[in-house]
Homo-oligomer: A and B are copies of this chain.
Amino acid sequence: MPSITKRVPSGRTSKAPGKPTDKRSAKAKQSTPKAATGRRVALPNAARKRPRQARARATVDAILEAAARVLVEEGYEGANTNRIAEVAGVSIGSLYQYFPNKQALVSALVERHVRHIMDLLGSGLMTAASLPLPEGIRRLVQVMLDVHRLEPELHRVLAEQLPRISTPDHHRQTNTTAQAMIKGYLEQRRAELRPGLDLETVPFILVHSVEAVTHAAVIEQPETDPERLVDEVTAMIVAYMLPHPH
């Protein structure tokens, strides 16, 4: 059978105008058992076609925007592509013009979100670099809290689905990058740290601890006093990393 399922010639969106590689005999409803339509999956991620005109770019934006809204309002399972297209005010066909499948759409959303977070974290580290260590750490904790408070609902849904969507590799790498950034920061301040602190393990602990606490604070207990929480978490980290005044 002509496996049209994963065409998208190597993702290359070259114009190749009159080159419809797939001929696909008209209809042939029964002949191709699992070919024609239904549930399948093309290349994940890679956009099928890149928008070249302004209005196309607007369409893509509208789709992403709508996807975020629907995802937040209906959850991942309740979010179907037809609905997303409807909310975006475009036809389902347009959606599939730019995203080869549902996963790719969500992936794009995740990438955008992660990029945003990493940017914040990066600039937070810049600020922290010029501060005394305790203040610097406080700044970083604050940044993490801000990250979560930015779009808490979207963050929650994406965070839940992230392990499933992105490849484990990609997920791990994002995490590793964050840890590497923290590690770099700590190495610069090594002189101020408690001697013997394990700079391999510490970033791992910090990233996950702070992420979890801020996440939970935003999701579960929005009424918690943010200042107090930041103070406490900072205190914990400082007590752990700085030399004990002994």
From residue 161 to 194 of chain A, which have CB atoms closer than 8 A to chain B?
A: 163-164, 172, 175
Q: Does A114 contact B (CB under 8 A)?
A: no
- Among B201, B212, B220, B221, point to the contact of A212 (Cβ < 8 A): B212
- Among B12, B160, B209, B221, point to the contact of A204 (Cβ < 8 A): B221
Cα(A11)–Cα(B71), bound, Å: 13
- Among B77, B224, B244, point to the contact of A11 (Cβ < 8 A): B77
Q: Classify the interface of chain A: helix, strand, loop or mixed.
A: helix
Q: In the assembled complex, which residues on chain B have CB atoms less than 8 Å from the CB atom of A244?
A: 239, 244-245
Q: When the two chains form their complex, are residues B201 and A209 in contact, meaning their CB atoms are under 8 A apart?
A: no
Q: Does A65 contact B (CB under 8 A)?
A: no
Most B CB contacts (10 A, CB to CB) among A175, A237, A239 go to A239
Cα(A245)–Cα(B239), bound, Å: 11
Q: Does A232 contact B (CB under 8 A)?
A: yes
Q: How far apart are A58's CB and chain B's nearest CB, in angstroms? A: 28
Q: Does A233 contact B (CB under 8 A)?
A: yes
Q: Does A235 contact B (CB under 8 A)?
A: yes
User: Given A75-B12, A244-B245, A246-B245 in contact, is the A201-B228 Cβ separation under 8 Å?
Assistant: yes
| 1/0 contact string of A223-239 vs chain B (CB within 8 Å) | 01000110011011101
Q: Does A198 contact B (CB under 8 A)?
A: yes
Q: In the assembled complex, which residues on chain B have CB atoms less than 8 Å from the CB atom of A164?
A: 75, 77, 160
Q: When the two chains form their complex, are residues B235 and A240 in contact, meaning their CB atoms are under 8 A apart?
A: yes
Q: When the two chains form their complex, are residues A232 and B11 in contact, meaning their CB atoms are under 8 A apart?
A: no
Cα(A245)–Cα(B246), bound, Å: 6
Nearest residue in B to A207 (C-beta to C-beta)?
B216
Q: How far apart are A184's CB and chain B's nearest CB, in angstroms? A: 19
The 4 closest A-B pairs by CB, nearest first: A212-B212, A236-B240, A209-B209, A239-B239
Residues of A within 8 A of B (CB): 10-12, 74-75, 77-78, 156, 160, 163-164, 172, 175, 198, 201-202, 204-205, 208-209, 211-213, 215-217, 220-221, 224, 228-229, 232-233, 235-237, 239-240, 244-246
